[in-house]
Structure 1
């Protein structure tokens, strides 16, 4: 298996960017096309953290070699590298088009340079913490882009909660007035309610540690999805908001993604 850096240019951010790309064994020896999984980091993180702190390469090697996960291309990007974390959003004040960077620059460049299956049924996104928010936001707001989304300890809540919990001085720059229409566009409960009847709605998986400060948020999101009738898979395990938990439970998210891929083979 190979992990390589992949540089590209982002027109949305007018900046040079880079990500890491995991290529499965045998990639260079065949003309086969592969599904793609995007792994998103959390606040204060970078594109290297899944590799350096989360043992993602070892987990992928093990799961693919034991047929728990089909051979896949796995992309580990950064969030746009602004401030403490961008939440993978286009900011209200125009600071940066971090959602457009992901959708219009990163994904097309990966599809251009690697043998990907260029369809939602073979594209998934998974993230931790802020990246969990990003995974659900990107998939719910852009139907037909991702077939499945997974979150580990994600901030799966309203944008108002993000503002209150993190007390960040730049939140108003990100989402504008808390009760305004722009903030509502990124509220994950609102997003799920809008998408619940859509045939292209993404399959959703999320889990959280019972000692995590975001546990109640995840439990509330699970309840919201139940109330609106959005089919999903939710699990909770002992654990806190740390790399020990995310390393241990990345396989759970990847197993869900494999189940989704398998369902599309029929």
Structure 2
């Protein structure tokens, strides 16, 4: 008789097989990840002379040595402020620096040049490497102009403009605001004197304007406005005040507004109708003309002239640094801004003008003063030594800030 095997397993057999299967699975070792190739060791860049390069160095005799590492360069030049502050230098000698000072290449690809002696102060410079202008890659100290940045160096010894230990320091804030006069957002810098944050007193305001091609960053950096005021206030030579340093250009290009005379564009309305109310609304100011001053250098001096004459009801103190109307514009100014002042202007407490012996604006300054005096304005006119340059403008601010908000009688 044939035996037939059943295709079905008993429950006991199934259970046993399942347990065996599970047991075998549980005892299998976990799968190991595939071996990874060893990671290469971190490679540090090879050392170069640039790693420890001291790119700008002032010697005890006030000569300044500049260096830049550019091993593959063909030609390197230095463009530096400062030669105009060399004692006894002539205009002809300063002109030689306009094209740049050639640097000499050393064995390790370090280029070098020395200038001086340079009078104590703060100065700007750039390098030109094979035709490309650049800041100093080894110097983080910079100053912004309208279209570029420059590196800075300092020759110690200018006591009135140094940040000194033991002297309380004010604060310079960067302020962004919307301007209905120019459209869009604009920037200005505002200096508040030491102790302002914890005080309650209302203060006078100096509106301080930069020159053509510069920016609202110029007076706070290369102009040393903050340190100058810190030292004046600490010595009792100036009253505590705010300094408002707006952006004088209304375009990112250094050009005049088409159809507008220099000093006559949307900036004037921006300052008087936007910035001035903003400052009075956001800071503790004395909001009247006797507690407002306006001053500017070069292009900013032209803006100062026109705004002061058109808005004499807003400013009692005026400072014009290295500036004046161009000869071909004087007749038009006499017929417009000067005529408006003659008709409705208020007397100024101080109208202070200065320009250097070798200043390119000196003759314009003299001619402008003659027009102002003919209009009945009492002008305190000065002629310093020096050029159309920051050594003069810092000194002018130092003198002017010590005079404002003190005159007892209108002039």
Tell me if both proteins adopt one fold, taking TM over 0.5 as the criterion.
yes
What is the total number of aligned residue pairs between the two structures? 237
Q: Which runs of 5 or more residues in structure 1 are unaligned?
A: 163-178
Computed over aligned residues only, the root mean square deviation of the Cα atoms, in angstroms, reads 2.6
Matching of residue 76 in structure 1 with residue 223 in structure 2: no
SS in 2 for 1:127: strand
Instruction: Name 1:237's counterpart in structure 2.
Output: 384
Aligned pair partner of 1:191 in 317, 333, 337: 337
Taking the aligned partners of 1:251 and 1:200, their CA distance within structure 2 comes to 26
- 1:204-215 to 2 correspondence within 5 Å? 204-215=351-362
- Per the TM alignment, residue 114 of structure 1 is displaced from its structure 2 partner at its CA by 0.5
Taking the aligned partners of 2:365 and 2:228, their CA distance within structure 1 comes to 24
- Per the TM alignment, residue 39 of structure 1 is displaced from its structure 2 partner at its CA by 0.6
Change over 3 Å in CA distance of 1:242–1:81 after alignment to 2: same
Deviations 1:108-158 (A, max 9, x none): 11111101111011011110001011111111111311111101101x225
Instruction: Name 1:157's counterpart in structure 2.
Output: 325
What is the TM-score normalised by the length of structure 1?
0.80
Matching of residue 24 in structure 1 with residue 188 in structure 2: no
CA contact (8 A) 1:207 1:235 kept: yes
Relative contact order, CA 8 A, sep 6+: which one is greater? 1
SS in 2 for 1:211: coil
Change over 3 Å in CA distance of 1:210–1:133 after alignment to 2: same
Aligned pair partner of 1:52 in 218, 221, 233: 221
Change over 3 Å in CA distance of 1:96–1:223 after alignment to 2: closer
Deviations 1:42-78 (A, max 9, x none): 0001001011111111111011111111000111110
- Per the TM alignment, residue 198 of structure 1 is displaced from its structure 2 partner at its CA by 4.7
Change over 3 Å in CA distance of 1:188–1:9 after alignment to 2: farther
Taking the aligned partners of 2:201 and 2:176, their CA distance within structure 1 comes to 23
Taking the aligned partners of 1:68 and 1:46, their CA distance within structure 2 comes to 28
CA contact (8 A) 2:180 2:274 kept: yes
Change over 3 Å in CA distance of 1:197–1:68 after alignment to 2: farther
CA contact (8 A) 1:79 1:86 kept: no
Instruction: Name 1:170's counterpart in structure 2.
Output: none
Instruction: Name 2:306's counterpart in structure 1.
Output: 137
Change over 3 Å in CA distance of 1:86–1:104 after alignment to 2: farther
Taking the aligned partners of 1:251 and 1:90, their CA distance within structure 2 comes to 36
- Per the TM alignment, residue 98 of structure 1 is displaced from its structure 2 partner at its CA by 2.1
CA contact (8 A) 1:158 1:189 kept: no
Q: Which runs of 5 or more residues in structure 2 are unaligned?
A: 1-169
Taking the aligned partners of 2:265 and 2:228, their CA distance within structure 1 comes to 33
CA contact (8 A) 1:139 1:146 kept: yes
Instruction: Name 2:75's counterpart in structure 1.
Output: none
Taking the aligned partners of 2:256 and 2:243, their CA distance within structure 1 comes to 21
Matching of residue 250 in structure 1 with residue 397 in structure 2: yes
- Per the TM alignment, residue 229 of structure 1 is displaced from its structure 2 partner at its CA by 3.2
- 1:4-15 to 2 correspondence within 5 Å? 4-15=173-184
